Structure 1
Amino acid sequence: MDMDGDWPLPRPTTLFKFNRRPAGSSLSQANSVASTFSSLATPVVAEAVQRARDLATKSDAEGFHQLRVAFRKLRALYWAYSPYLGEEATAHATEEFKRLAALAGGTRDWDIAGDLLQAAQESGASIELLVAAAREKRAQAVVHSQTMIKSDAVEAFLNDVLLRAQTTLQSSCNDLPIRAFARKRVRLAQRALQKRSRRAVRSDAACEEDLHDVRKAGKKLRYLLEFFQPVIKGGHDRTIRELTSVQNKLGLFNDIAASENLIRSASFNEVPPQVVQESLQWLEKQKFRRMRAASRRVRNIAG
């Protein structure tokens, strides 16, 4: 299946209703593995559909960001249920979630880079031309995202993969209780985070890739705890808060690293190379400062 192509599906007849009640808030221990998936996925899918519709007429940074978050949550959920969904079906769905998240993220990435360049300019860097060029890149990213993310196609795709998943789960685990399953998947996510954290702090200076892996593992665990908290024993509010705090530190570092890579890979025909270089030097200094702060928080996880 070509995951980058259009999904040849009809307009969905089942419309998702978007509400802001957290996914998982209505779960109980009486739910089965199969029924729980539907309860968790449906509100996230509904939000993604609504966000995609909004992007046709809006270009605010938060809308793009929340759409990307919705697709990330769906990737985490499909990972959790992959033992019953099957490797192939999970891979097909999650690759498309990843592609759509990247399309939504293009605008968000230039928003972040633009804010950082503005901060560099305010600190004395002579990069006015690059700041203006970044605003233009952001405008181009909006057009690209709006062109590539068609709400009807997103809705049809999500409606289809959700129906396929529900059908598969009802035939394979409709009578299995949720608690043991949820606890097992959360434990696996916890172990993955611990393993990546230990690898990241094995040397005195953690590398960017290792910190990025910790960030991704932390997101997955946090999303799973938010999904499954109503049905697993023990309060996890503190763990979620701690993970969110660590994610914030890692996010600040990631913003710098991603913006540096974005600017290095972009072409700025109207901006002198020395202006671009000055911005990269400023970003690099900020990156190392934020990397140290992020590494300290990761060491706490690893310990």
Structure 2
Amino acid sequence: MPVSTLCHYPGITDKCMFPDQACWLDNGKMEKVSAKNMESTNNNSVEFVFKQKADMDAVYELLCREYSLHETFHVQLKRYYLDSFDWRMYQQDIVCGWDVPNNKHHLKVTNNQYIKSREGVFFIQNKDTGSSLYEFPFDHIPRFSKDISHQTCRQMLGDILGIRAFMPVVIMTVQRKQLLVLNKEHKTLAILQAERYTINGHTVEKRLHDRLIVFPIRGYKKVFKQVLQYITEHLKLPPAGNTLLDEALAAINQTPVSNAFTLTQRLPDSLTTWEAAQILLRHLLNLMQANESGLRHAIDTEFLHDYRVAVRRTRSILGQIKHIFPGKLLAYFKREFYWLGTITTPTRDLDMYLLKFDGYMYELPPHLQNDLVPFRLFLERHWKVEHARLCQALDSKRYQKLISQWQQMFASKDMHSQSDTLLLEQTSPQETFNATKPAKQVVSERIRKLYKRVLKEGRTITPESHDETLHELRKTCKKFRYLIEFFHDYYPDKQINRLVKKLKLLQDNLGDFQDLCVQVDQLNCFAEQMRQEGLADTRTIMAMGVLVQKLTARKAAVRAEFRQRFKGFIQTDKKAAFRHAFSLKRTDT
């Protein structure tokens, strides 16, 4: 059954899971319930659910008849449950959130004293057990894991989130009342915490079931068990079956499914080529639209990245699966999606330079590192300009027309009726003769052609070849891999996974080389542009020059690794696995 961390207020330290609670007793004396007196972990705490709204007051009265209770405080909090856009923490069974006192309410203790505070509490719990992993004061919702000051917590979140930002997934108001179970000597035997929840941010506020949480005190396990037995048998409160976060997500019809953001879809063998393409293209459009708001608001750089990947894969289907679109229709969409890739490139490029900036500084000797700071300011300044231009393009009639007409393509399974609806041309059957063929047949033929192209292009590359030849091979490898990943259901997993693993190693090398080529050229252009704009002095230009030298040396090293990576890809056993997976005759390679 779910368990919970103890109330954060008032008083908390980041050295223990439980806060020290300052409690005023009826005789005017104050007892401090220390974390030392509580169980070393809260794995034994138990949550019960109030099934009816009136239960909380009724249960309180019944508990008072059986036990000597003392209310220590009554507080109203605003709780923000946090996760990444793709639910990375939830998928790792982690619950993360931030609690802050409500603006209109202060913490109240029974001697009419008030504690005023706007400092919140950042907490992380294990979703399955409810045990507290981290809990410490924090005065705002962090944007990234790197903003967390707690070192071990920051490292754990960094491993899970990477460069993804925190986003509120549920916002709720929590009304919390804490009660102490006392003996005749006013010693605390157990702690009860009653909580009432209201989900905010919707047209109609949603109420969740109230909960009663029971915490043990070290040395009084017998009393703890008696309280649990009394609540279960006499008060008839059922234990909580779900975590509070899961209950809240269900109430707002939110499903934290990470695979909704994957780039592939399940494809039955029975599909025609047009039906398969329709499924894939519709899913890629959904990914674009799912990421559009995040890239507009610049929540994190992954929104634009994932948007561009969906655009790039859309272009790959348009270019690689031949003869399923009418000619003029295909030309229109290829042109418009190329434009969409073009307008998103400047912002993405600047994103990458900003992400790499710390690495750039570490490339330099310590005495030159601070001289690179003006370069960061230059990147940030131009990023704002390019991001504004991107948002303007996404607001344009051209973009709206593209998305509208693209959606019409998926309104029916009949390609010919869609081309008539779009009024671009009368469809010629010769232009779409692959549309009704089995998808596996058409795609396998195209994959075989791309495989042979990869082998041909790779074998012609020598140490003297121009850098552009490696870039062309990189693009062919990308098209090849996209088709394999799109239609992976059609082929044996074992052979395909081995092939793709070697292909990825080759692509990593080609991708690193291309990135370094672009960076070397672009950094020289940036340095000249900064000089013209009066944003860089001699020391900054010199530091950027040293950086270019470092990247040029690394570029040469990556280039030297290419031949070994390519040999690994074309090994005899890998070619045999490919022939088997794609039914390729030995003479074809």
Structure 2 CA distance for aligned equivalents of residues 115 and 206 of structure 1: 31
1:212 to 471, 493, 502: 471
Query: In structure 1, what is the equivalent of residue 553 of structure 2?
Result: 285
Structure 2 CA distance for aligned equivalents of residues 154 and 290 of structure 1: 39
Using the TM superposition, give the Cα deviation of residue 46 of structure 1 relative to its aligned residue in structure 2, in angstroms: 0.9
Structure 2 CA distance for aligned equivalents of residues 87 and 296 of structure 1: 41
- Bigger shift: residues 77-86 or 210-219: 77-86
Pick 1 or 2: higher relative contact order, CA cutoff 8 A, min separation 6: 1
Using the TM superposition, give the Cα deviation of residue 189 of structure 1 relative to its aligned residue in structure 2, in angstroms: 1.7
Q: Verify the 8 A CA contact 2:318 2:334 in the aligned structure 1.
A: yes
Structure 1 CA distance for aligned equivalents of residues 501 and 546 of structure 2: 37
Using the TM superposition, give the Cα deviation of residue 64 of structure 1 relative to its aligned residue in structure 2, in angstroms: 1.2
What does residue range 93-242 of structure 1 map to in structure 2 within 5 Å? 93-125=333-365, 126=368, 127-150=372-395, 154=399, 156-161=401-406, 163-164=408-409, 167-168=414-415, 172=432, 173=434, 175-199=436-460, 201=461, 203-232=462-491, 235-242=495-502
Query: In structure 2, what is the equivalent of residue 9 of structure 1?
Result: none
1:271 to 536, 542, 553: 536
Q: Verify the 8 A CA contact 1:194 1:301 in the aligned structure 2.
A: no
Query: In structure 2, what is the equivalent of residue 74 of structure 1?
Result: 314
Q: Verify the 8 A CA contact 2:364 2:546 in the aligned structure 1.
A: no
Structure 2 CA distance for aligned equivalents of residues 159 and 224 of structure 1: 26
Q: Verify the 8 A CA contact 2:450 2:476 in the aligned structure 1.
A: yes
Change (3 A) 1:22 1:43: same
Q: Verify the 8 A CA contact 1:198 1:299 in the aligned structure 2.
A: no
Q: Verify the 8 A CA contact 1:67 1:101 in the aligned structure 2.
A: no
Change (3 A) 1:151 1:242: farther
Q: Give the TM-score normalised by structure 2.
A: 0.44
Change (3 A) 1:175 1:110: closer
Change (3 A) 1:213 1:107: same
Q: Letter of the 2:375 partner, please give it.
A: L
Partner SS, residue 84 of structure 1: coil
Higher normalized helix content (fraction of residues): 1
Q: Verify the 8 A CA contact 1:189 1:217 in the aligned structure 2.
A: yes
Change (3 A) 1:55 1:111: closer
Q: Letter of the 1:39 partner, please give it.
A: I
Residue-pair matches, total? 283
Q: Give the TM-score normalised by structure 1.
A: 0.81
Query: In structure 2, what is the equivalent of residue 47 of structure 1?
Result: 287
Q: Verify the 8 A CA contact 2:273 2:324 in the aligned structure 1.
A: no
Query: In structure 2, what is the equivalent of residue 38 of structure 1?
Result: 278
- Where structure 1 has 5 or more consecutive residues not aligned to the other structure, the ranges are 1-17
- Where structure 2 has 5 or more consecutive residues not aligned to the other structure, the ranges are 1-258, 418-428, 572-589
Q: Verify the 8 A CA contact 2:274 2:324 in the aligned structure 1.
A: no
Using the TM superposition, give the Cα deviation of residue 251 of structure 1 relative to its aligned residue in structure 2, in angstroms: 1.9
Structure 2 CA distance for aligned equivalents of residues 90 and 238 of structure 1: 34
Structure 1 CA distance for aligned equivalents of residues 492 and 416 of structure 2: 24
Change (3 A) 1:283 1:301: same
- Bigger shift: residues 152-161 or 61-70: 152-161
Superposed CA RMSD = 2.9
- Bigger shift: residues 169-178 or 188-197: 169-178
Structure 1 CA distance for aligned equivalents of residues 441 and 305 of structure 2: 33
Query: In structure 1, what is the equivalent of residue 221 of structure 2?
Result: none
What does residue range 9-48 of structure 1 map to in structure 2 within 5 Å? 19-20=260-261, 22-25=263-266, 27-48=267-288
Using the TM superposition, give the Cα deviation of residue 154 of structure 1 relative to its aligned residue in structure 2, in angstroms: 4.1
Structure 2 CA distance for aligned equivalents of residues 230 and 70 of structure 1: 20
Q: Residue deviations 1:102-158, cap 9 Å, x none?
A: 322322212322344432322335233223322333333322222223398646413
Partner SS, residue 82 of structure 1: coil
Structure 2 CA distance for aligned equivalents of residues 67 and 187 of structure 1: 29
Q: Letter of the 1:190 partner, please give it.
A: Y
Higher normalized strand content (fraction of residues): 2
Q: Residue deviations 1:218-245, cap 9 Å, x none?
A: 1111110111122346741222222222
Q: Verify the 8 A CA contact 2:393 2:399 in the aligned structure 1.
A: no
Using the TM superposition, give the Cα deviation of residue 192 of structure 1 relative to its aligned residue in structure 2, in angstroms: 2.1
Larger Cα Rg: Structure 1 or Structure 2?
A: 2
